[in-house]
Amino acid sequence: MTDCWLIFKNNELLFITYSEEFANLNDVAEEDREQCQIFKNIEGYEEGKGVRLVDDGSGNKIPEVFDLVFSPPEIA
């Protein structure tokens, strides 16, 4: 299995990387790093799926994987 890091800022997905070299906050402004979280190898996540942070009921944010659903545009 290839390692995968997902970086969130203010609970929004900022970026995904499969390279440990980029699994850090070096590209995030120092004053914004406090609002960031890094998750490694989220269970159930695979390329092409979506992931978001949800409240686990005790105030902690945890990743939730979901299927992306795209509808083709309607042609008039």
Span 24-38, pLDDT tens digits: 999 889 999 999 999
- Quote the DSSP letter at residue 57: S
In contact, 69 and 40? CB cutoff 8 Å: no
Asked whether residue 27 is domain-assigned, the answer is yes
Asked whether residue 76 is domain-assigned, the answer is no
Asked whether residue 37 is domain-assigned, the answer is yes
Asked whether residue 20 is domain-assigned, the answer is yes
H/E element holding 44? none
Asked whether residue 72 is domain-assigned, the answer is no
Q: Are strands 36-40 and 12-17 parallel, antiparallel or unpaired?
A: unpaired
CA distance 22 to 8: 14
Q: Structurally, how many domains does the chain consist of?
A: 1
Q: Please write the tens of the pLDDT for every residue from 30-61.
A: 999 999 999 999 999 988 899 999 999 998 99
Asked whether residue 22 is domain-assigned, the answer is yes
Q: Which amino acid is at 27?
A: D
Tell me if residue 5 falls in helix, strand or coil.
strand
pTM of the model: 0.79
